Structure 1
């Protein structure tokens, strides 16, 4: 075996030193993030709870939908459910583009006005609200494909 030249030794030493510094910096950032979460008023640190809870797709998704995807038990993440190369539309109103906000507002206004029109003529408003929600879920299933597992099953009356 040939001994390493001085340049290579120095390069490796520098890389080890930089990796040590990087790991120390990452540890400090994680500690600072945990301290910030702990200092959050009333709520406290929810990270351990969030890590312990199962994901929403595992709770709501139908067995047929989840069985068709090759998922490995509780290790399945929302990232593995997402189609490759497709970024989902933001659900947070503040992150939406202006046109997306306008579309969402228009659809919500039309649904609300329909609900108000039908509510004013009915005697039982709770049953009517349930009917409106079932109708909306059917529309969303038709638009996004059936079995998306994105919402509660409202087909059975309560």
Structure 2
């Protein structure tokens, strides 16, 4: 038995053919496309002209030399590398020496900062002892403080001390009469009559002893 053949179907429908004057229609289509191209070109030119008028950089000449500006390596780099000394025409030994010096400066800076932190922490933990000569020079001396205190006490005493007024005439007469009576009693003492100087000296000694006993 033979194979059954299936008719092949077309996937796309055939194009629609225009009837009539095909040549005239083609010419009209070409003219329309030419007109559309001209209109688009005019619009593009008008847009370009408007952009040119509003461009702030119009007439400014910027060359590539102005844009190519490079900073030195020391300004742009924080780490010393092989490119740091590029263009300096240095020998290999000089480059190594400079690199070593820069590295030692960084190490010294780190060590000093570490030492300062340790010293500060130690000062905060320990009491103030040792050499206080600087503080003693800044503070006033003991003699100056005592002098200032004594001067202030004298000024207070002067302010508090009031001058005594004169006694009344009656009081003066009574005091004079009592003094005369005491003097007469002293004259009647036999020791005073025998040796007045020794008696007066003994009286003064007794007065001094009484004053000392009262003070103590």
TM-score by length of 2: 0.22
Higher RCO, Cα 8 Å, sep 6+: 1
TM-score normalised to structure 1 length: 0.28
Which structure's CA Rg is the greater one? Answer: 2
